[in-house]
Structure 1
Amino acid sequence: MKKAPNYFLSIFKMKCPRCRRGPMFKDANPYKKLKLSHIFDMPETCPTCNQKYDLETGFWYGTGYVSYALAVAVSVTTFIASLVLFGVNFNDNSIFWWLTANCILLVLIQPWLMRLSRVIYLYFFVKYDADYEHHKPKEFDHHQ
């Protein structure tokens, strides 16, 4: 049996949750073309294990919640870092400097966050299968 690729590394490398080897996006660089069609350009199935990525119509709508949670996590992290490093407080304008910098950062990393939210969301539904060559890919069960 093959050694399982690292869970978190597979997420950040945006690999298929089932085999953790196949790419989830046709182009690894989300910034190559700043168009939604490019940012979300995914093969229908994993080229390595044949796992279908879009499990059902409207499946990706749930990624909005994941993307929101990631944006909040980034914002909390930058706020705490600014608080510790620069002494951000509410008594002067430093809170507005943090807010501006945080907004700019969120806009700049948005293409990556959008992709990462898809990867994380799919990882909730499709589990790793070390023996994926001998098992059928997961299909969405409408009776759950």
Structure 2
Amino acid sequence: MKSNKFTSKFIILIFLFSILAVILWNSDLAHNTVARIQWTQKKKEFKSDEISKVSFYTGGLNGREIEFIGKDKDNFMLTLSNSTFYKSNWQGMLDDSISIEITYSNSSKRYFEYCGGDIFQLSYNGSMFSIRNKNLEEILSKYIETT
């Protein structure tokens, strides 16, 4: 009889632990932890000397493509790599953003989004997350406001 009591308590305990694990895994806490690690890995990609240019389209009727090359590109990439992690976007993308294209020397391209304010959205290994950088916003706003 004691064996049945112990077994039923053990099963209930395992069940409750499983529910707790599912809740935590589907929470912002878990996704933010994973995305923060991915941002640490992703920012190493931006310190590469293999980046040939950074460009974006300002949008609108009189929109134009802006290219950063040389020192402007290096400054932009250094500022980007110094951004801080903001949050995971595991529930969906942020809308109304400007796409920024990073072109590497081997002609491959990577994209990330400027979402307004000091928020930027990136993806890495299938996960999406946001970063913040006031200095990066100031660099982009010079070009966006003048168009």
Fold conserved between structures, TM > 0.5: no
Which band: TM-score by shorter chain? under 0.3
Say which structure is richer in strand: 2
The structure having more radius of gyration, on CA atoms, is 2
Ranked by relative contact order (alpha carbons within 8 Å, sequence separation 6 or more), the top structure is 1
TM-score w.r.t. the length of structure 2 is 0.25
